[in-house]
Structure formats: C-alpha cells, structure tokens
Amino acid sequence: MQLYLPIADLPVNVLLVLAMGAAVGFVSGMFGIGGGFLMTPLLIFIGITPAVAVASVTSHIAASSFSGALSYWRRRAIDPALASVLLCGGVTGTALGVWTFTQLRALGQLDLMIALSYVVLLTTVGSLMFSEGLRALMRTRRGALPPRRTHNWIHGLPLKMRFKRSKIYLSIIPVVVVGIVIGFIGAIMGIGGGFILVPIMIYLLRVPTSTVIGTSMVLTLVTMLFATMLHAATNHLVDAVLALILMIGGVTGAQFGARAGQKIRGEQLRLLLGLLILSVGIRFAIELVIQPSDLFTIRELGVSG
C-alpha cells in the first residue's frame, strides 16, 4: 500500500515503513536506546533524503523516549540535578547543531556530511563497544572479576557539584560539555545519542547504572523535542506523516524488544549492540564508496531564499 509523504516528496510503502519502525522499536526496547542511529540510515536507504530523514526521526526519538523517561521517573531512577546540568549543555548543542545543519544545507554539503558522520561515528563506536563486549564476555567465561574502576583526571576539575540521587561529587564542566556534544550530534545526525551518552556517563563520569539510563532519556527527550521544533521552524523538513507511521511501528516493536532484552545478559547485549552499530557504519561506508548516487537523492526540498 503506497502513501505519499508531502515533505519527503515521494510515495512509500506503508507496510515497509511500519515494519522498519517495529524493527527499530524492537532494537530500542532490547538495548534501551533511542534507535535513531539505525532508523535514519534505513530511511536514507529507501530513498528519503538525509535532511528529511534526520529532521523527521528526531520527533520519533522524542516520542519513544517520553514513555521510557516517565517510567524511570516513577521508579525514582532519574537524577534531576544531573539531568538539569546536562540539559544546559544539551539545549545549547542542539541549537548549534540545527544552525550548522541549516548552513551545510545552504552550501549543498549536508548529505555528504551526514553520510561521513555516520561512517566515522558508527564504525568507531561500534568497534569500541564490540571489543569491550567481547572482553567482558571472555572475562565472564573465565570467571575473572571486572577491572576495578578508579577516578580519572575529570574528577579533579573545579566547579564541583553534589548530585545527591546519583551519590557523586563531580565538576559541572565535563557534564555540560557532554550535553553540548550529544545535542550537537543529535541535531545533525538524527540520533538520540544514548548509545554514546550512557557509556560516557558510566565509564568517564562514574555515574551509577541505577540512574544513568533514566537521566540519559531525559536529555534525549528534551533535546530531540527541541531539535524537532527548530527543524520544523527553520528548515521545514519534518514530515509528520512519516514520523507518525514510525511512531506506531516503534511503540509496537519496543514492547517485544524489552521482553527479549530481559532474557539476555549484559555483556551479550553490549556485544550484539556493538556488532549492530558497526554493521550499519560499514554498510554506509560501502554505499558511500561504491554507489554514492544511490545513497543521496539530489532533489531540492523547498529551500527558500
């Protein structure tokens, strides 16, 4: 069944888009992430321009993050103070990212920048997560204890603040910087950034796992909602019809993914997630090198002077 997307300016198979939303929702529910790193490339691969894919997926990520953030809030698994400091940087980074997005689009370099960003980010993060998951799996099989975490130079920075819910005493400088980076990347690439933010908060900032996921979801929710509004107001690229179809599929798939994720051990989940991220990055690289004309759609989408 074909449906015309007004902003994307092309017909799509509704069942295919629903299936994509459900598949990404399943992955999101299984790994506890937004899934934008997977949804945006899939939309590009079926012919939707990178600009529309990025702008539309932000609304999908915001919607999927809302229910998760609400659930963690009820369980008191969110650190309000830490989330507030992260958002100070996240909102700033999102605004800067949307401005950069607009400038690159005006220069005609946006599609190439999005593709290169995905190749570099996903292959790097995927390789690191896959290797870390593999080492953790091998340690578990040998019965070895995980390496002891020690404080690093970040914990010696000034302007420290006590985050009571997370029970940590930490400088606000790296927290704000992390928020800026995640907001900037999310606005340009159409990803919530949870698969980057959670490891950074756990391994660098030493935020306990009891609050890290819920707090990261708050950042994802607010920054993606802000990015959606900015993209809609400045670039007019948010396709509401596409976003609605993705949301329906995503909510359905997430329910099954959450149940599947509970049956898999943590190190196995990290290994699978790293492999998935690495696979998407490699696929993007292959498309970029071998068939760049198929990856990008050279259509203008109403750039007003």
The whole-number pLDDT of residue 145 equals 54
Task: Please answer whether residues 217 and 65 qualify as being in contact, where contact means their C-beta atoms are separated by less than 8 angstroms.
Answer: yes
Cβ neighbours for 71, distance < 8 A, ≥ 6 positions apart: none
The whole-number pLDDT of residue 300 equals 41
Between CA 53 and CA 8 the distance in angstroms is: 8
Task: Please answer whether residues 30 and 260 qualify as being in contact, where contact means their C-beta atoms are separated by less than 8 angstroms.
Answer: yes
The whole-number pLDDT of residue 70 equals 76
Say which residue the tokens 């909602």 belong to: 225
Task: Please answer whether residues 58 and 37 qualify as being in contact, where contact means their C-beta atoms are separated by less than 8 angstroms.
Answer: no
Among 11, 295, 281, 9, residue whose Cα is nearest residue 122 = 281
Between CA 123 and CA 106 the distance in angstroms is: 28
Helix axes 36-45, 14-31, angle to 10 degrees: 160
Element (H, E) at 225: helix 209-230
Q: How far is CA 207 from the centre of its chain?
A: 19
Burial of 14 (0-12, 13-18, 19+ CB in 10 A): middle
Residue type, 208: P
What is the CB-side half-sphere exposure of residue 296 using CA atoms within 13 A?
19
- Condensed to tens digits (0 to 9), the pLDDT of residues 188-231 reads 888 877 778 877 887 788 888 778 877 888 888 888 888 888 88
β-strands 10-13, 2-5 pairing: antiparallel
Between CA 221 and CA 208 the distance in angstroms is: 20
Residue type, 68: G
Among 173, 168, 180, 169, residue whose Cα is nearest residue 158 = 173
Taking the whole predicted model, whether its pTM rises above 0.85 is answered as no
Between CA 37 and CA 235 the distance in angstroms is: 21
Among 92, 288, 56, residue whose Cα is nearest residue 191 = 56
The whole-number pLDDT of residue 220 equals 84
In tens digits, what is the pLDDT along the chain, a chain of 305 residues? 788 787 777 888 888 888 888 887 777 766 666 677 778 888 888 888 888 888 888 877 777 777 667 777 877 878 888 889 999 999 999 999 999 988 888 888 777 787 788 788 888 877 877 777 777 777 777 765 555 555 666 767 788 888 887 888 888 898 899 999 999 988 888 887 777 887 788 778 888 877 887 788 888 888 888 888 888 888 787 888 888 888 887 777 776 766 665 566 666 666 777 787 788 778 777 766 665 555 554 344 444 33
